[in-house]
Amino acid sequence: MLSAVLPIRQVEKPWGKDILPAPFTAPQGKRIGEIWFEPPAAMPELLVKYIFSREALSVQVHPSDGQTLAKGLGRQGKEECWLIVAAEPGAKLGIGFNRSIDQEAMRAAALDGSIEQLLTWHSVRAGDFFYIPANTVHAIGAGVSLIEVQQNSDITYRLYDYGRPRELHLEEGMGVAHGEIYDLARWHQQIPSHGSHSLVDGPLFQLDQIEGAPPLEVATRYSGMLLVIPREGIVELGKEMIIPGGCALATSLADIRFRDDSICLIASPLFSST
């Protein structure tokens, strides 16, 4: 049996928090914006992280696999999804635009800062789930705590950063950004805090929330290695106990003992990074 609790990396961000929700703690004087679970060598395709925003994140965009392959960068596209676990009053996500805009208008708006007003800002609460396809311009607002599951790529093109002294990537970003309205009906769900629910079913990865043992229709889709991310309760992998705030790799669902009161996310890639 292969199983491993994934190491955690705390990532400082200018928009991060110095006080994190349990079970996480930030080092004194540090603003932690992201908690990464280091992708295991046996499953390098996916990255799971928590994001905690005290201030708004940059307006940004990611390329697709096809675009990075065409540039000779390998399979480095980035599609991602967000499950909101907590949101302060007024918390919002900016995803897509209020109306379709062309590249010239988008570039001008990024330069003068008006791109922030052109984005569609979606009010959020715990349980909101959004899938973010590659090429979608987006920004996470202040006061949001979420779990992100993404293709394991570090290619992010910042288009606007609220005056922070960080590098922007307008040329690269304009080459991949789509000035489109976000298809909320297709890409958004409200996920109840309990019960089993399918969140993503391809094409790049699958992600499910399960309560207790996975139902048969879920178990048949997870035939190989997977990641398990407890939300409530405890799951067991051999002699290891995985608690909320952790993430672990399992060879198969059969290796995991799900308690009846556990609520977990499970994820696996549907492509090979090699």
DSSP string of 122-167, one letter each residue: EE--TTEEEEE-TTB-EEE-SSEEEEEEEES----EEEE-TT-SS-
Determine phi and psi for 95, rounding to 5 degrees: -140, 120
Q: Which residue(s) pair with 85 in the sheet?
A: none
User: Catalytic amino acids?
Assistant: 158
Report residue 178 CA to chain centroid gap: 19
Q: Which residues contact 95 (CB under 8 A, 6 or more apart)?
A: 119, 120, 122, 130, 132, 136, 137, 138, 182
DSSP string of 169-208, one letter each residue: -HHHHHTT-B-----HHHHEEE--SSS-EEEEE-SSEEEE
